[in-house]
Amino acid sequence: MKRTQKINVGVIGLGMGRWHLQNYAKCANANVLAVCDIDETRLKAVQMEYDAPYAYANYAELIAMDELDAVTVALPNYLHAPVTIAALRAGKHVLVEKPMATSAREAEEMVAAAKRAQRILMMHFNYRFTPEHFFLKDYVQSGGLGEVYFAKAFYLRRRGIPALGSWFTQKALSGGGALCDIGVHALDLALWLMDYPQVSDVLGASYAKFGPPLAQKAKKTFDVDDLSVGLIKFENGASLFLEASWASNIAKDEVYVDLYGTKGGLTTRGGAKMFYERAGAQVDAAPVRVRPVETPQQHFVNCIQRGMTPICPGEHGLAVQRILDAIYASSLNA
Ligand SMILES: NC(=O)c1ccc[n+]([C@@H]2O[C@H](COP(=O)([O-])OP(=O)(O)OC[C@H]3O[C@@H](n4cnc5c(N)ncnc54)[C@H](O)[C@@H]3O)[C@@H](O)[C@H]2O)c1
């Protein structure tokens, strides 16, 4: 592929998929060629809004397009694996939404399909893509924290269960609740900052205390977790505590990661901050100006054009998925 050639992209699933379109539309080296959704009204409206030449209700028709280079898969979770694998087999590069799949087995098949097809499989771990988080990644990588031996990752909602009875609250369609839906963002951010260490052990507990009574009243299905916690231990001796909640009796909604290191610590809570000792004093520090970062879509398109591996490869989605599976398995075994 010539560097000057624009990458033709298609977006499958036009809920969160519209966010992908917004970002693709801003990429000078991408061209929105096609969109897909089974909801024909939504499909037509989005096609017009983004001036996409092609629109399909059937994803198989979109991925069969010869001119198409890459797709975003922003479908309900149970469709991530089959659609991603079909797209890879058709020779397309894939940017897939989180969580990668509904089980690690599916995620493994996706990674294998990308390898076989020699195409890029990138996870949409978009919470990494802020200037402050990129700064923190560099800070950790340059040794600012010393040895990182403990981390905490939180994605907490006091009351925030998504559409009751939709695919989000049905295990067979989503793979799980709060942990899969929002816990993955905090988990990925912490793992990325820690450089994705090898997992040795996972202990977890999942609860559903708010969803089931609400669902019963509304005569809807809710068979997923609305609170999950996990303790993840790594082969390098470090550990990570994770908590994800759609609903719990807590003070407020919060999303943040803390890292504890021998030379310093950091938090993303309320902006990037670092903590260390200098000249006999305990010091808090914060960056005052950080470099802008590209969007995940721009990164994906650039990686395709330049033949680079994305910073969130399928392997990271698989590592996260294995932890999700292990937390649920540990919870069932309790
Ligand atoms: N990264 C993030 O911050 C973020 C935010 C929200 C959602 N998501 C993820 O995006 C994905 C989609 O979530 P959502 O909130 O957009 O869900 P949604 O239910 O709002 O939208 C899904 C869309 O897919 C369409 N669809 C369903 N089956 C289809 C099929 N077989 N073929 C074509 N279209 C089909 C639906 O009609 C709908 O328009 C999920 O994996 C979710 O976890 C990620």
User: In CATH terms, are 7-125+295-312 and 130-293 the same topology?
Assistant: no
Whole-number pLDDT of residue 169: 98
Whole-number pLDDT of residue 334: 66
Whole-number pLDDT of residue 333: 82
Map the chain to HEC letters. CCCCCCEEEEEECCCCHHHHHHHHHCCCCEEEEEEECCCHHHHHHHHHHHCCCEEECCHHHHHCCCCCCEEEECCCHHHHHHHHHHHHHCCCEEEECCCCCCCHHHHHHHHHHHHHHCCCEEECCHHHCCHHHHHHHHHHHCCCCCCEEEEEEEEECCECCCCCCCHHHCHHHHCCCHHHHHHHHHHHHHHHHCCCCCEEEEEEEEECCCHHHHHHHHCCCCCCCCEEEEEEEECCCCEEEEEEECECCCCCCEEEEEEEECCCEEECCCCCEEEEEECCEEEEECCCCCCCCCCHHHHHHHHHHHCCCCCCEHHHHHHHHHHHHHHHHHHHHC
Contact 165 CB / ligand 1 (< 6 Å): no
Residues counted in the chain: 334
Name which residue sits closest to atom 20 of ligand 1, judged by CA: 15
Please give the distance, rounded to the nearest whole angstrom, from the Cα atom of residue 165 to the centre of ligand 1: 15
Rounded to whole angstroms, how far apart are CA atoms 299 and 293?
9
Please name the fold of domain 7-125+295-312: Rossmann fold (3.40.50)
Pocket test for ligand 1, best of 97, 297, 316 (most atoms within 8 A of CB): 97
pLDDT digits (tens, 9 = 90+) for 275-303: 999 999 999 999 999 999 999 999 999 99
**98 contacts 129 by C-beta, under 8 angstroms:** no
Name which residue sits closest to atom 8 of ligand 1, judged by CA: 16
Contact 39 CB / ligand 1 (< 6 Å): yes
- The residues annotated with a catalytic role in the active site are 98
Contact 14 CB / ligand 1 (< 6 Å): yes
Whole-number pLDDT of residue 135: 98
Please give the distance, rounded to the nearest whole angstrom, from the Cα atom of residue 168 to the centre of ligand 1: 10
- Residue spans of the chain under pLDDT 50: none
**Which CATH number is 130-293 given?**
3.30.360.10
Contact 15 CB / ligand 1 (< 6 Å): yes
Domain ranges, ordered by start, for the chain: 7-125+295-312, 130-293
Measuring CA to CA, which residue among 123, 102, 121 is closest to residue 110? 121
Contact 72 CB / ligand 1 (< 6 Å): no
Contact 59 CB / ligand 1 (< 6 Å): yes
Contact 146 CB / ligand 1 (< 6 Å): no
**Number of Cβ atoms within 10 Å of the Cβ of 216:** 10
Would you give the distance in Å from CA 311 to the centre of its chain? 12
Measuring CA to CA, which residue among 9, 27, 22, 29 is closest to residue 306? 29
Give pTM, 2 decimals. 0.98
Please give the distance, rounded to the nearest whole angstrom, from the Cα atom of residue 76 to the centre of ligand 1: 5
Name which residue sits closest to atom 9 of ligand 1, judged by CA: 97
Q: Which residue has the tokens 């996409």?
A: 52
Name which residue sits closest to atom 34 of ligand 1, judged by CA: 37
